[in-house]
Amino acid sequence: MALPVRDQMKYWGVAAIVFAVVLWYLGNVLLPFILGGAIAYFLDPVADRLERMGLSRAMATMVITLAGVLIFVILAIAVIPTLIRQAGDLIETAPQLFRDLRDFIGVHFPTLVDEGSPMREAIGSVGETVKERGAELLNTALSSAMSVINILMLFVIVPVVAVYLLLDWDRMVARIDELLPRDHAPVIRQIAAEIDRTLAGFVRGMGSVCLILGCYYAIALALVGLNFGLVVGVIAGLLTFIPYVGAIIGGALAIGLALFQFWGEWYWIAAVAGIFFLGQFLEGNFLTPKLVGSSIGLHPVWLILALSVFGTLFGFVGMLVAVPLAAAIGVIMRFAVERYKDSRLYRGLETDVFHDARPAVDPEAP
């Protein structure tokens, strides 16, 4: 006999509180394990495909691991140092860029930047703020990442956790399925399948879209000779998971830098703008429909809210778990709404009386 609904709500409520407390106090400790789990989840379809091609699970995991090590070495040698250098240069150059912007506006729109005007003061302070805050953020990230413990956690524990989870992924899923309460197992499987579909569409699909667009923007902007093109491409690619935000921020940043660098050479400015228009065309017409699908059930506003709330409460770890939790909560809420519409609370007693009072219809009657 199943537990009463009140008891079930009590147990699930206690489990949610315990999860929040653990995330609050052990977030930094759990970070490499959450990252490893996310990587394993992302690569599980690749391992499954390699298995269908005839490889064992161990061989498939080994192939993926070797490919990952090769990609990491290439990035560490060729991309990451340049990315860090360009990010630092962009932060240091920000005050001069905003001073140039102020001079440009002063020449063409002198009334907007008169001495003591709010716009003049705002433009002058924005660059210094970007330099101070950006340098502080970059130094904090680098100093924390350069500690021995964080190096070991991020570059040793994360890959090890990802490899072990990828190797045992199917067995873990089967084991969890065995532990489901028998009365609720079919419903839990249904909800879990819907959550997996949503996550697969968003995390795997949008992750692939972000990676492809980030590489495209970075390479294309570097080819046209835009300063800080690698940083702009990475920013635009990372923000692509929020519809239009990545293109707007990345495009505005790239075109703004192009105006300062290529002023008077309008074909290069047009080329930078064309890169982002082409990227949006490819994303909207090919990448997103092919890799993500037309509907994943995760609204952008709901995603932004989840990232903001969990990021504020639990920091970077909260932002990592925000997407799967947002997907799970969204699926559960849709399931609850469907159950509510089938309940007497929604349909009311009159509906039941109406159905009971209707005369039976003989299907063979003329």
pLDDT of residue 66: 92
Cα maximum dimension of the chain: 91
pLDDT of residue 145: 45
Below-50 pLDDT ranges, the chain:
144-146, 148, 353-354, 357, 360-366
pLDDT in tens, 143-199: 544 454 566 567 778 888 899 999 998 889 889 888 888 777 888 888 888 888 888
Q: How many CB atoms lie within 10 A of CB 40?
A: 22
Q: What pTM did the predictor assign?
A: 0.64
HEC-encoded secondary structure of the chain: CCCCHHHHHHHHHHHHHHHHHHHHHHHHHHHHHHHHHHHHHHHHHHHHHHHHCCCCHHHHHHHHHHHHHHHHHHHHHHHHHHHHHHHHHHHHHHHHHHHHHHHHHHHHCHHHHCCCCHHHHHHHHHHHHHHHHHHHHHHHHHHHHCCHHHHHHHHHHHHHHHHHHHHCHHHHHHHHHHCCCCCCHHHHHHHHHHHHHHHHHHHHHHHHHHHHHHHHHHHHHHHCCCCCHHHHHHHHHHHHHCCCHHHHHHHHHHHHHHHHHCCCCHHHHHHHHHHHHHHHHHHHHHHHHHHHCCCCCCCHHHHHHHHHHHHHHHHHHHHHHHHHHHHHHHHHHHHHHHHHHCCHHHHHHHHHHHHHHCCCCCCCCC
Domain range annotation of the chain: 30-179, 182-296
Residue pair 277/320 in contact by the 8 Å Cβ criterion: no
Residue type, 233: G
pLDDT of residue 365: 44
pLDDT of residue 247: 75
CA atoms within 13 A on the CB side of 327: 19
Residue pair 330/295 in contact by the 8 Å Cβ criterion: no
